[in-house]
Structure 1
Amino acid sequence: MEFGNRLIVSCQDRTDWTIPMAVHGGAGGLRVNGVDDVKFARSVRENIPLVACWKKDIPGVQVRITPQIDMMQGLFRAGATFVAFDATQRRRLHSVASMVAAARRWSGMCVADVSTVDEGCDAWEAGADIVATTLFPVFDLEAIRRLATCGIRVMAEGNIRTPEQARQCLEAGADLVCVGSAITRPHEVTKWFLAALSKGM
């Protein structure tokens, strides 16, 4: 399933209103967390593409974005189009290749969340359908450009605060742009404006 357009809205806070509002606003897809929100998003619009993850802290494991294979299965069963998982080099229960293989067993697609260009290249070679810059520490157009140059299908995500930055991601080669707080968390946006207005005063 392709996305309705290139904007994916990450709705992982106050989803009772952020999911319907993102759909109403015309998002081409949603990124959601957990089985319940997958089901809720499907009830709002049955055919909207969903990138789903399942965040959980596990003792001794550094990965918290869909750390277990059975979580992936649960998300697909609930109606996820893609399942996103941490594909970094952090201590993990299952290899990136094992996570990709699990998605294939359930005829699903996966998004690899990475924090470096090398991790993105490795995840793509392991078979990920999309590589997302979710875990990069800063907004990094050069990283998007390098990933796209390698022929990787890239979803720009993380620290995208303005429509101008979103457009820059596409110009750098991203196929999709996922925006969260700048759309769904007005309290955070309020802080950004206050910080900007207070500079030099």
Structure 2
Amino acid sequence: MNNLFERIHGKLVVSCQALPEEPLHSPFIMGKMAYAASLGGAAGIRANSVEDIREIKTRVNLPIIGIIKQVYGDCPVFITPTMAEVDALCEEGVELIAMDATDRVRPDGSTIAELFPQIRAKYPNQLFMADCSTFEEALQAAELGFDCVGTTLSGYTEATKGQVLPDFGLITKLVQTLDVPVIAEGGISSPEELRRMFDLGAYSAVVGSAITRPMDITKRFLKALE
């Protein structure tokens, strides 16, 4: 098993991301956020953009799951959607690259089944994580040669709209079916939910908003007062 997977096995990965419209958007701030997460015991960091990843590397010595969120027109696929984003992340030297592996059409008109073989041929030694929304997508991703699959997009696609998160059912099915590591991600908002994910057999888990997005955390608390 690759050293990266050994380091995150049974442990927490913290997602440190802030989009341009968010108050904490800044490589410097994300670097500090990652450092705080590492001091808290995080085993890995998930980060967005070459700029943030580069800064985070100067702050922590942890495995990084790297993505580039890039919107192309009205295309719903925006997590590392094309070869261009993969190229940029590989050039930066990201240990594990995550990308949208749903069955939706990508900005260049291709599907993941068409694009990923090209990516794998170009980068045979790079580790890739499939961000999926359904059991079928994760199954296909494993068959395509992704090194691990995540439940990242369950509840965030048209096909899974309304899905209650975290998606414990999807994790259960994937763990029972796949041989590659299954990473729980999406909607984990409490330590109890995180514990349950591992009890169900998740290889690792990613928590973001509940730890690193103070604006969202504040809104959750205020909701209790409504």
Distance, in Å, in 2 between the alignment partners of 1:105 and 1:32 is 23
Could you list the structure 1 runs, at least 4 aligned residues long, displaced by more than 6 angstroms after superposition: none
Q: Output the aligned Cα RMSD.
A: 1.7
Aligned residue number for residue 99 of structure 1: 116
- CA distance 1:80–1:2, change in 2 (3 Å): same
Normalising by the residue count of structure 1, what TM-score does the alignment of the two structures yield? 0.90
Please report how far the alpha carbon of residue 23 of structure 1 lies from its aligned counterpart in structure 2 after TM superposition.
1.9
Please report how far the alpha carbon of residue 16 of structure 1 lies from its aligned counterpart in structure 2 after TM superposition.
4.0
Aligned residue number for residue 189 of structure 2: 161
Identity of aligned residues (%): 36
> What secondary structure does 1:2 align onto?
helix
Count matched residues: 197
- CA distance 1:25–1:101, change in 2 (3 Å): farther
Distance, in Å, in 2 between the alignment partners of 1:32 and 1:118 is 26
Distance, in Å, in 1 between the alignment partners of 2:55 and 2:117 is 25
Please report how far the alpha carbon of residue 104 of structure 1 lies from its aligned counterpart in structure 2 after TM superposition.
5.7
Tell me if structure 2 keeps the 8 A contact 1:2–1:49: yes
Out of 199, 206, 220, the residue aligned to residue 178 of structure 1 is 206
Tell me if structure 2 keeps the 8 A contact 1:34–1:54: yes
Tell me if structure 1 keeps the 8 A contact 2:4–2:95: no
Q: Is it true that 1:88 corresponds to 2:110 in the alignment?
A: no
Out of 160, 169, 184, the residue aligned to residue 142 of structure 1 is 169
Out of 86, 89, 92, the residue aligned to residue 72 of structure 1 is 86
Aligned residue number for residue 41 of structure 2: 26
Aligned residue number for residue 15 of structure 2: 10
Tell me if structure 1 keeps the 8 A contact 2:96–2:129: yes
Aligned residue number for residue 43 of structure 1: 58
Please report how far the alpha carbon of residue 100 of structure 1 lies from its aligned counterpart in structure 2 after TM superposition.
5.4
| 1:65-105 CA distance string (max 9 Å, x none) | 01111211211221211111101111113442433552463
Distance, in Å, in 1 between the alignment partners of 2:78 and 2:198 is 28
Tell me if structure 2 keeps the 8 A contact 1:38–1:75: no
> What secondary structure does 2:99 align onto?
strand
Q: Unmatched 5+ residue regions in structure 2?
A: 19-23, 25-29, 156-164
Tell me if structure 1 keeps the 8 A contact 2:95–2:126: yes
Tell me if structure 2 keeps the 8 A contact 1:142–1:172: no
Out of 173, 189, 198, the residue aligned to residue 217 of structure 2 is 189
Tell me if structure 1 keeps the 8 A contact 2:103–2:111: no
Tell me if structure 2 keeps the 8 A contact 1:50–1:80: yes
- CA distance 1:134–1:119, change in 2 (3 Å): same
Bigger CA drift: 99-108 or 86-95? 99-108
Out of 139, 145, 151, the residue aligned to residue 127 of structure 1 is 145
Q: Which AA in structure 1 matches 2:56? A: A
- CA distance 1:108–1:192, change in 2 (3 Å): same
